[in-house]
Structure 1
């Protein structure tokens, strides 16, 4: 590696000068010393790229010089030159960290140049490996720091989500609404909400944002904001304007399209009117269909509608049913389909109907019956909401 600085240490002036002359002719820079003590001083002052040192010298021999250099620098290549009769010294030098050794007399100086280049290349490789390891450690530490920040952000996001969800089941006259959400990640893309509209009606919905994790959880914040805005508008008008689930879905559809986030939502939303004893509901691409149970009579609630936030010309319709004196309405996100053990969709749907028919008409009972408490890692978020009147 031409241009490198070589420190040549030898008490034989003729040998030293012949080596220096050859190395200069090969493009190297050189420094000279006639013993180890002088060489050590030059090493400390000039920081050469390689040391070529005779072993047997007065004042300070090569082994002492090598030992001292290695205590101060483990990287600099150090080639020892030894007479043929002192091979035990060569072994000791290699043990102390010499890079290579040459036997006197050096008849072919090209062999010396080859050894020097090999030692310099090896030293450069070691330096690059150290830099790479340092860079890798820095990257790992940076990733750990980023992961810690991300976990802190996730905790903060989780706390925001938890604060947005209803704090407790809604008890409205003889109606009760409860929910449970099991996220596949720390943050969930499923969301539920329910709230009172006036003295004779309340609203509820279950939403499933496409995907899951932080980006989907962000959309749940938007949904909560939209529902609050609509509720404020409703109350600012004195509650005179009749709220329809289809109008809410149209509003959310337009709002999501304007954000340009590329996220869509499947939604089932409804409004219970206790004066008329009716449920008005609307579908926004929701699947599986909600299950309504009246005693042993259990069936899926019919309806259809496009996902919300995908199509500008999407149209959402309302359906109205009379509410029986005793019933339960179970709404599940499609994550439940992923964890049911049955093979076909038809078998999974029949199983859901049978579980509800057997009396799993509360959040606690349904969660236990479906084995959701034992799930370690769900492939998708699972949300459930149950509206019941007993």
Structure 2
């Protein structure tokens, strides 16, 4: 049985045919309105908005094609079933092209076919309306998604600009020392960060950090790193006055370790940092779970510096050590994030790490040449953030 509340309109000037159709459809559970003229049918349609209209293509007061156009103009989603003589298929085809949804041929000997056609047309109309609603919802969702994506792009652009503004100048010259860096994010925002700055008249500080993960959350942690190191330097300067200050790399890593754990960001950092004492011509550095280790290049040879330590922000009992070396008169020191290892051939970490000093030797300890050796081209998409920092004195 058809659900109650479905109203049909039958328009036919043949009283016998119209009443037979109406009776059959009423037996099937439909509410049926009847009209014996096209004009009367249009009035009933306007007043009652039926769910489907059946009508004779050939009526005395108006053609079926004109009726189709009038109904379709006011209610394009209402299904229209035309009734025609068996020998008038050309008119049926024309009606279907004009907007009719289905047709019945007289004589209607099997009224079960009538009910089947009506139900099929109603179901098709329901599906068309539902599909239209789905399309509208999808279009609305797509517009909202586009707006959200644009907001995200705007946020990323702003975050990217913040990161750029936080990074130090490259190249940067201070006394005899030159610092350079390159950062290639795997996404729009980077979890890698580098910084270098003067601590006192005879001290230069630097660090390279690789925050776990990618994207905005890791980029936010780099902002926190910048704040913590700047704040620590400020506090140390207040205590020590104008001369050299006790700005030990191990103290910096320990301070950041405690701060990250207390912040509960769910982020940890591998990093390494150092202090150059220009008066003593020494480098003091500390390692926080970072690979690869710094590579020192001098007299045509490159080697890894020694050192180890736990990642920063994971272990409350982590202790960091200071390592001290004398600096050659001419040298460069290369610091890389582990994303650089993706640029090297080899199946094991050891095989990849063995290549880096050799490439630095081939590059003559120069950053631009090393970038070429690593095939790091502008705009190249990498699976991980990549950062390189190189400091040098009197390079050959």
Secondary structure of residue in 2 paired with 1:341: coil
Is 2:283–2:326's contact at 8 Å kept on the other side of the alignment?
A: yes
- Which residues of 2 match residues 102-251 of structure 1 at below 5 A? 102-239=104-241, 242-251=246-255
Q: Measure the CA separation in 2 of the matches of 1:335 and 1:106.
A: 78
- Aligned-residue Cα RMSD (Å) equals 1.8
1:267 is aligned to 271
2:100 to 68, 73, 98: 98
**Does 2:307 correspond to 1:317?**
no
Q: Counterpart in 2 of 1:16?
A: 18
Gaps of 5+ in 1: none
1:290 maps to 294
Is it true that 1:379 corresponds to 2:377 in the alignment?
A: no
Q: Is the 8 A contact 1:360 1:369 kept in 2?
A: no
- The answer as to whether partners of 1:266 and 1:307 remain within 8 angstroms in 2 is yes
SS in 2 for 1:289: coil
Q: What is the deviation of 1:69? A: 1.9
Structure 2: tracts of 5 or more residues without a match: none
Find the residue that maps to 1:39 and give its secondary structure.
helix
For 1:13 and 1:260, locate their aligned partners in 2 and report how far apart those are by CA, in whole Å: 83
TM-score between the two structures when normalised by the length of structure 2? 0.93
CA displacement, residues 314-347 of structure 1 (integer Å, 9 cap, x when unaligned): 2211111111222111101111100223444344
- Checking the alignment, whether the CA contact within 8 Å between 1:170 and 1:195 is kept in structure 2 is no
1:107-136 CA-partner distances (Å, limit 9, x unpaired) = 333221111111101111111111112222
Report the Cα distance in structure 2 between the residues aligned to 1:375 and 1:244, rounded to whole angstroms.
Answer: 37
Alpha-carbon deviations, 1:162-201, whole Å to 9, x = none?
Answer: 0000024332221222111111111111100011111111
**d(CA) in 2 for partners of 1:308 and 1:360?**
32
**Is 1:337 matched up with 2:341?**
yes
**Worse overlay, 351-360 or 44-53:** 351-360
TM norm structure 1: 0.95
